[in-house]
């Protein structure tokens, strides 16, 4: 298994012949195998750029991204991706989409086994009975469930998710977050047996609910400051997590206040400086 991620002094510059734009500069962090880390930060700070490097679709201008100690040189079945935009094949049913991913990941499977396994993955994401629907016949939330089933079917060790629930209404978003937690935490899985997940989001609450750690990126294009790591926070809450208990826990509230001060740039004005220091030191 090659699941640790190491990003070392990563700089990414977009060039179109006439112009150069530095989107990320000197970004470094590491992730343990089986860790779920959220990347948060305002629009344009380089979150998707970072994910595209980890996916292998974009090369660093300098620095490197390593997975399992090896530089990422292109897309790999080891790394499954779920995007914000619904990315299902519109001409295939839900079952067809998941079965197609299985065909790519496990070409030796017989058709009957493939369909059986595809059905199983759809059932895991709560879509039993929807196998024969085409994407246009599914709600946004259901389409994202198929995308998650497809990523499960690919069974890569690493899951890269770019605002996967960004376009979903609040209730369905909560259901999908719970589903992701349940699938990732697994039933009795040891932390190191879990998938390594990089989860991009704008939503601080979503990041806290899901993550072991949160990487906050920031950028200021108007002042020519490229995306860089502002802070890395360890979420001081154990897994498995349950939304209901978490939202009522004092540790959650204190941590949320501390990080939101920094996230929303109100650090100086805050009356919660003390709490912040206490929580972040814990």
Ligand X SMILES: Nc1ncnc2c1ncn2[C@@H]1O[C@H](COP(=O)(O)OP(=O)(O)OP(=O)(O)O)[C@@H](O)[C@H]1O
DSSP output for 115-159: HHHHHHHHHHTT-TT-TT--GGGS-HHHHHHHHHHHHHHHT-SEE
Contact string (CB under 5 A) for Mg ion, positions 10-49, x = contact: --------------------------------------x-
Which of 145, 147, 131, 52 shows the shortest CA–CA distance to 93?
131
Closer to ligand X at the Cβ: 45 or 158?
Answer: 45
Site for ligand X, residues 134 to 153, rule: CB under 6 A: none
Residue 43 binds which entry of ligand X, Mg ion, none, with Cβ cut-offs from 5 to 8 Å by kind? Answer: ligand X
Residue number, 48 or 211, with CB nearest to Mg ion: 48
> Is the CB of residue 7 less than 8 Å from the CB of residue 160?
no
Residue of closest CB approach to Mg ion: 48
Binding to ligand X in span 205-244, by CB under 6 A: 221
Which of the residues 19 through 78 are near ligand X (CB under 6 A)?
21, 23, 41, 43-49
Is residue 240 within 8 Å of residue 258, measured between CB atoms?
A: no
Question: Rule CB under 5 A: is residue 201 a binding residue for Mg ion?
Answer: no
Of positions 14, 89, 264, 274, contacts ligand X by CB under 6 A: 14
Radius of gyration of the chain (CA): 19
Going from the C-alpha of 101 to that of each of 157, 265, 272, the distances in angstroms are 15, 42, 48
- Rounded CA gap, 174 and 201, in Å? 14
168 binds, among Mg ion, ligand X, none (CB under 5 to 8 A by kind): none
Helix (H, G, I), strand (E, B) or coil at 81: strand
Report, in Å, the least distance between residue 47 CB and Mg ion: 5
Q: Which is nearer to ligand X, 48 or 97 (CB)?
A: 48
Nearer to Mg ion, 159 or 279 (CB): 159
23 contact, one of ligand X, Mg ion, none, CB 5-8 Å limit per kind: ligand X
| Shortest reach from residue 233's CB to ligand X, in Å | 18
* Cβ atoms 171, 92 nearer than 8 A: no
Decide: residue 40, CB within 10 A, 0-12 exposed, 13-18 middle, 19+ buried.
buried
- 8 Å CB contact between 80 and 129: no
> Taking CB within 5 to 8 Å according to partner kind, which of Mg ion, ligand X, none is near residue 264?
none
* 138 vs 219 by CB, closer to Mg ion: 219
CB atoms under 10 Å from CB of 163, counted, come to 20
Residues in touch with Mg ion (CB under 5 A): 48
Residues in touch with ligand X (CB under 6 A): 14, 21, 23, 41, 43-49, 202, 221
């Amino acid at each position: 298994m090659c699941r640790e991620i190491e990003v070392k002094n990563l700089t990414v510059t977009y060039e179109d012949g006439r112009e150069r734009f530095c989107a990320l500069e000197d970004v470094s962090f590491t992730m343990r195998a089986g860790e779920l880390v959220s990347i948060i930060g305002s629009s344009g700070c380089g979150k998707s750029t970072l994910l595209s490097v980890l996916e292998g679709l974009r090369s660093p201008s300098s620095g490197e991204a390593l997975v399992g100690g090896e530089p990422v040189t292109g897309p790999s079945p080891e790394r499954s991706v779920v995007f914000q935009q619904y990315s299902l094949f519109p001409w295939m049913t839900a079952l067809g989409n998941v079965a197609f991913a299985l065909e790519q990941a496990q070409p030796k499977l017989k058709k009957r086994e493939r369909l059986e396994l595809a059905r199983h993955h759809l059932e895991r994401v709560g879509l039993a009975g929807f196998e024969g629907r085409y994407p246009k016949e599914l709600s946004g939330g259901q389409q994202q469930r198929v995308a998650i089933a497809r990523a499960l079917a690919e069974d890569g060790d690493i899951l890269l998710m770019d605002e996967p629930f960004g376009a979903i209404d609040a209730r369905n978003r909560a259901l999908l977050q719970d589903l992701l937690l349940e699938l990732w935490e697994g039933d009795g899985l040891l932390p190191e047996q879990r998938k390594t997940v990089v989860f991009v989001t704008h939503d601080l609450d979503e990041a806290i609910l899901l993550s072991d750690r949160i990487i906050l990126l920031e950028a200021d294009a108007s002042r020519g400051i490229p995306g860089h790591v502002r802070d890395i926070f360890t979420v001081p809450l154990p897994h498995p997590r349950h939304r209901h208990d978490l939202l009522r826990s004092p540790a959650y509230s204190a941590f949320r206040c501390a990080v939101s001060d920094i996230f929303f740039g109100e650090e100086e004005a805050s009356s919660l400086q003390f709490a912040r220091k206490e929580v972040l030191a814990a």
